[in-house]
Structure 1
Amino acid sequence: MTLTSKKAIKRVIILGIDGAGTFIREAETPYIDELLAGGAQTSQALTAFPSNSGECWGSLLHGVMPERHESHVHIQNNRSFPANSPAPSLFQILREARPDSTMAAFVSWKPIITGIIEEIPGMEKCAAPDEQLVPAIGAYLRTNPGLELLFVQLDDVDAAGHRHGYGDESTEYLKAITRADRQIGEIGKELLEAGMLDDSLLIITTDHGGGGVDTFSHGSDAPQDMTIFWGCRGPGVSPEADLSGLSIMDTAAVALYAIGLQIPSDWDAKVPAGLLT
């Protein structure tokens, strides 16, 4: 699955592993290693505070701090994310710029496609357990060659952390990361077979860690909760890029820049200097 093409970026694929923090580097992850070979990556990126999924995935998809996107508030109140929010998601920005664009979100944690991503006509949304998501993604890729933006969230790693404890001393937690790695590998294979791998910007990241204050939880400002893995690979990505100071929010800026859209001037997100040449 090594990428060698000098093609332009046609789409952005964001693959998120919930709750993996920086422990992706402590587990066996051969598929992630292969997919990101030759790309740029860091195990020192920072997530949003508080380090919970609503706030963190919200910042990744909206490019602003939690107090501005308020995804967690909509989730807590069982509300859909408003279409007229001053902090629109990547998907909303793409739809407004290109009304016929093809986009999708496949998640295990359903609140992402209600309280974080707007109700967008024509957008494919799917919520299902991790083991059901991969075949559904494959079927979608085979029938949507014009895809421009895909977001995937796998949840079993976070569930393992809550159940067995977060960190490199939790065998079951590390095993869950390795299972997620295999699922990432299956998605990579589907992208390859669909002819989409070598002209996509592929981003692999996580939303938060865990075990910083409570072995079985997260949400604090402790480094073990706040520090995350982030990597990308694709046409024009420089492996020498300086990713120090990278924030989870910057994912949104990188995605928009990669598909040729203007980054909102009021965003907290930015594109790391030298990442995309």
Structure 2
Amino acid sequence: MTGKSCERVIILGIDGAGAYIKEADTPHIDGLLQSGSATYGAQTVYPSNSGECWGSLLHGVGPEKHEAQMYIKNNAQMPAGPVAASLFRRVKAAYPNSPAGAFVCWAPILTGAIEPLDGVVKHAAPDADLVPAIGAFIKEQPDFRLLFVQLDDVDAAGHKHGFGTAGQLQAITRADAQIGEIVRALAEADLLDDSLIVVTTDHGGGGARTHDHGSDHPKDMTIFWGCRGPGVVAVNELVGVSIMDTAAVALHALGLPLPADWEAKLPEGLFL
């Protein structure tokens, strides 16, 4: 890092990759996190399904509090309250004039896990089309404060081929290349050095059922989590990380206080 302050947070999520990233060829993720910290032993929430997991990442609390899964199941819009405010709502409250972006393949996230907010670009598309749209957003709105990305093909490959199989590992490598494209767009816009970037996944799979997830089996519950950016220490192996902690890391990096009722915490030793 160059000593710059953090101007923005980018969360790059790979759906369904669990800790299988360790077994796949991921040169772009490896290079990105070379000066940061990571763990293959982070934990997600139960039940280990995407609505519960992405909701917990975005809200800093567990599924029983954020209720994203309920809104997603009912194809409903998450209201501005009384559920726990999302990371997007908190960042927009602090930086109302700065844009933010949520780019996903799984469209229900945009309504079921994120409230209706002014100044938040929401875009849903297949992974292959999503990445160019993210590049355009970075180029056209470089003053953004928060960017959340959810790539879905890895989860689809797990359901098709089996989680942890060669077919899914190949999908992880393709997702790694797409992350490389996003990082390249950040570098070309001169936004890389003063950005905090988290790379993570929402859940694993192949525990109770080879082609599914949702159980409390370690293969379903264990995920990859990595971070780099201003103030981040290069730790050999983080311990005790929860998917919920992503929200705490994002707020801390942007100089915002952590809500007292959050379950999210700052991973020990992550920051200077």
Please tell me the TM-score bracket, short chain as reference: over 0.9
Instruction: Identify which of 229, 234, 241 aligns with 2:229.
Output: 234
Tell me which residue corresponds to 1:20.
17
Tell me which residue corresponds to 1:274.
269
**Are residues 1:133 and 2:130 paired?**
yes
- Normalising to structure 1: TM-score of the pair? 0.96
The residue type equivalent to 1:52 in the other structure is N
Tell me which residue corresponds to 1:258.
253
**Are residues 1:225 and 2:220 paired?**
yes
Tell me which residue corresponds to 1:61.
58
How does 1:41-56 map onto structure 2 within 5 Å?
A: 41-56=38-53
Give the superposition deviation at 1:84: 1.5
Tell me which residue corresponds to 1:107.
104
**Are residues 1:213 and 2:208 paired?**
yes
Instruction: Identify which of 171, 180, 183 aligns with 1:185.
Output: 180
Tell me which residue corresponds to 1:161.
158
Residues of 1 paired with 2:29 and 2:268: CA distance? 24
Q: Please tell me whether the aligned partners of residues 9 and 259 of structure 1 are also in contact (alpha carbons under 8 angstroms).
A: yes
Q: Please tell me whether the aligned partners of residues 256 and 262 of structure 1 are also in contact (alpha carbons under 8 angstroms).
A: yes
Deviations 1:169-219 (A, max 9, x none): x11111000000000000010000011111100100000000001000000
Instruction: Identify which of 32, 35, 38 aligns with 1:35.
Output: 32
Count matched residues: 272
Q: Please tell me whether the aligned partners of residues 43 and 241 of structure 2 are also in contact (alpha carbons under 8 angstroms).
A: yes
Percent identity reads 61
Q: Please tell me whether the aligned partners of residues 103 and 124 of structure 1 are also in contact (alpha carbons under 8 angstroms).
A: yes
Residues of 1 paired with 2:173 and 2:62: CA distance? 30
Residues of 1 paired with 2:213 and 2:75: CA distance? 22
Give the superposition deviation at 1:166: 0.3
Tell me which residue corresponds to 2:116.
119
Instruction: Identify which of 5, 9, 33 aligns with 2:6.
Output: 9
Give the superposition deviation at 1:274: 2.5
Residue aligned with 1:239, SS: coil
The residue type equivalent to 1:238 in the other structure is V
Give the superposition deviation at 1:243: 2.5
Give the superposition deviation at 1:98: 2.2
Q: Cα gap change, 1:73/1:55 in structure 2, threshold over 3 Å: closer, same or farther? A: same
Deviations 1:122-179 (A, max 9, x none): 2101000000011101111111121110000000000000011001xx1111100000
Moved more, 95-104 or 133-142: 95-104
Residues of 2 paired with 1:147 and 1:258: CA distance? 14
Question: Mind listing any 5+ residue stretches in structure 2 that lack a counterpart?
Answer: none
Give the superposition deviation at 1:118: 0.6
How does 1:62-77 map onto structure 2 within 5 Å?
A: 62-77=59-74
Give the superposition deviation at 1:241: 7.5
Residues of 2 paired with 1:140 and 1:38: CA distance? 26
Residues of 1 paired with 2:43 and 2:87: CA distance? 20
Residues of 1 paired with 2:199 and 2:4: CA distance? 20
**Are residues 1:89 and 2:118 paired?**
no
The residue type equivalent to 1:26 in the other structure is E
Q: Please tell me whether the aligned partners of residues 241 and 274 of structure 1 are also in contact (alpha carbons under 8 angstroms).
A: no
Residue aligned with 1:174, SS: helix
Residue aligned with 2:214, SS: coil
Residue aligned with 1:37, SS: helix
Residues of 2 paired with 1:200 and 1:270: CA distance? 20
Tell me which residue corresponds to 1:198.
193
